Structure 1
Amino acid sequence: MEEESVHFADSNSEEDVEEEEEHSSAQEATHAQPKAKAKKPKKRKGATGPPPMETFINQTAFDVYFSYASSTLRVSDNVLSSLVEPLTHDEVHTIEQQMQEHADSNEGVQRLCSMHESFFPHYWFELHNGFNLLFHGYGSKRAILTKFGKEYCARNGNIIIVNGYNKRAGLKTILSAIEQIPKLGEVSLRSSGLEGQLQRIYGFFRDSNHPPLYLIVHNIESPSLRDNKVSTLLSTLALHPRIHLIASADHINTALLWSSAEVSARKHSPTPVGTEIPSHKGYAWLFHDLTTFRPYVIELTHRDISTLPAQNQGTGATSGGAGQAMSEPAMSHVLASVTEKAKRLFRLLATKQMAAVEEDASSKVTGLEKYGMQYDLLFNEARKEFLATSDVALRALLGEFMDHGMVLSGGTPEVLWIPAGKEILKRVLQNMGST
Structure 2
Amino acid sequence: MDENDMIDEEEYEFSRNYFLAKESGKSVKKSSAHKVSELNLADEQELRAEVSNIEPKHEKEIALLINSYKKLYNEWVFELRYGFGLLMYGFGSKKTLIEDFASTALTEYNVIVVNGYLQSINLKQVATAMAEVLWDQLKMQLRSASGGTSRDQQPFNSRSMDDLIAFLDEPHKTENECLVCLVIHNIDGPGLRDSDTQHLLARIAACSHVRIVASIDHVNAPLLWDKKMVHVQFNWCWHHVPTFAPYKIEGVFHPLILAHGGTSQSVKTASIVLQSLTPNAQSVFKVLAEHQLAHPDEEGMPIDVLFTSCRELFLVSSLVTLNSHLTEFKDHELVKVRRHSEGQDCLHIPLSKDALEKLVQEMNH
Q: TM-score, normalised by structure 2?
A: 0.58
Between the aligned partners of 1:145 and 1:195, the Cα distance in structure 2 is 29
Aligned length: 257
Aligned counterparts of 2:117 and 2:228: Cα–Cα separation in 1 = 26
Aligned to 2:260: 310
Superposed CA offset, 1:226-271 (max 9, x none): 3455334321232234421111000111111111232122xxxxxx
Structure 1 contact 204–210 (Cα < 8 Å) conserved: no
> Which position in structure 1 is the counterpart of 2:198?
231
Q: Secondary structure at the match of 2:135?
A: coil
Amino acid in the other structure paired with 2:42: P
What residue identity is the alignment partner of 2:163?
A: G
CA contact (8 A) 1:136 1:248 kept: yes
Tell me which residue corresponds to 1:78.
34
Per the alignment, residue 246 of structure 1 pairs with: 213
Among residues 254, 278, 286, which one is paired with 2:237 in the alignment?
A: 286
Q: 2:180 aligns with which of 213, 228, 233?
A: 213
Q: 2:296 aligns with which of 308, 323, 344?
A: 344
Change (3 A) 1:426 1:147: closer
Residue among 255, 260, 263 paired with 1:326: 263
Deviations 1:409-428 (A, max 9, x none): xxxxxxxxx8x6xxx78646
State the percentage of identical aligned residues: 24
Are residue 108 (structure 1) and residue 61 (structure 2) matched? yes
CA RMSD for the aligned pairs? Answer: 4.3
Q: 1:49 aligns to what?
A: none
CA deviations on 1:324-367 (whole Å, 9 max, x unpaired) are x632744996x999x969971499xxxxxxxxxxxxxxxxxxxx
The residue number in structure 2 matching 1:136 is: 89
Measured after TM superposition, the shift of residue 173 of structure 1 is 3.7
Tell me if structure 2 keeps the 8 A contact 1:89–1:308: no
Higher mean displacement: 130-139 or 81-90 = 81-90
The answer on whether the counterparts of 2:91 and 2:242 sit within 8 Å (CA) in structure 1 is yes
Corresponding residue number in structure 1 for 2:75: 122
**1:257 aligned onto 2:224:** yes
Residue deviations 1:266-300 (CA, integer Å, cap 9, x gap): xxxxxxxxxxxxxxxx2111111111111000111
- 1:114-140 superposed Cα distances (whole Å, 9 cap, x missing partner): 111111122122222231111111100
Q: How far apart are the structure 2 equivalents of 1:225 and 1:264?
A: 20
- Change in CA separation of 1:188 and 1:233 when aligned onto 2, cut-off 3 Å: farther
Q: Which amino acid aligns with 2:153?
A: V
For residues 125-164 of structure 1, the aligned pairs below 5 Å read 125-153=78-106, 155-164=107-116
CA contact (8 A) 1:188 1:200 kept: no
Contact map agreement 2:128 2:164 (CA 8 A) in 1: no
Q: Report the alpha carbon displacement of residue 309 of structure 1 after superposing the two structures with TM.
A: 5.1
Supply the distance in 2 between the matched residues of 1:332 and 1:140 (Cα, whole angstroms): 19
Does the 8 A contact of 1:141 with 1:248 survive in 2? yes
Where structure 1 has 5 or more consecutive residues not aligned to the other structure, the ranges are: 1-72, 266-281, 312-324, 348-386, 389-399, 407-417
Q: Which amino acid aligns with 1:214?
A: C
Matches of 2:204 and 2:173, distance apart in 1? 11
Structure 2 vs 1, CA of residues 326 and 174 (structure 1 numbering), >3 Å: closer, same or farther? same
Aligned equivalents of 1:425, 1:221: Cα separation in 2 = 31
Q: Would the aligned equivalents of 2:92 and 2:246 in 1 still touch at CA under 8 Å?
A: yes
Paired amino acid for 1:102: P
1:87 matched to 2:40? The reply is no
Q: 1:113 to 1:345 in 2, by over 3 A?
A: same
Between 1:202-211 and 1:136-145, the stretch displaced more is: 202-211
Q: Which amino acid aligns with 1:92?
A: R
Amino acid at match of 1:327: S
Alpha-carbon distance between aligned partners in 2 of 1:114 and 1:172, rounded to the nearest angstrom: 36
State how far apart, in whole Å, the 2-side matches of 1:432 and 1:298 are: 20
Structure 1 residues 138 and 75: CA distance shift in structure 2, 3 A: farther
Over 3 Å counting, the alpha-carbon distance change for 1:199 and 1:326 in structure 2 is same
Contact 1:139–1:294 (8 Å) recurs in 2: yes
RCO comparison, higher one (Cα < 8 Å, 6+): 2
Q: Secondary structure at the match of 2:214?
A: strand
Which structure carries more helix by proportion? 2
* Superposed CA offset, 1:8-46 (max 9, x none): xxxxxxxxxxxxxxxxxxxxxxxxxxxxxxxxxxxxxxx
Secondary structure of the 1:183 match is helix
Looking at structure 1, the residues matched to 87 and 32 of structure 2 have their Cα atoms a distance apart, in angstroms, of 44
CA distance in structure 2 between the aligned counterparts of 1:115 and 1:202, rounded to whole angstroms: 35
Q: Residues 225 and 231 of structure 1 are in contact (CA less than 8 Å); yes or no, is this contact kept in structure 2?
A: yes
Query: Does structure 1 residue 296 correspond to structure 2 residue 247?
Result: yes
Partner Cα distance (1:204, 1:229) in 2 = 26
Amino acid aligned to 1:82: E
Which one has the largest radius of gyration?
A: 1
Between the aligned partners of 2:356 and 2:211, the Cα distance in structure 1 is: 49
1:147 Cα deviation after fit: 0.7
| Pair 1:195 & 2:162 matched | yes
**1:291 aligns to what SS in structure 2?**
coil
TM-score, normalised with respect to structure 1? 0.49
1:3-14 aligned at under 5 Å gives the runs none
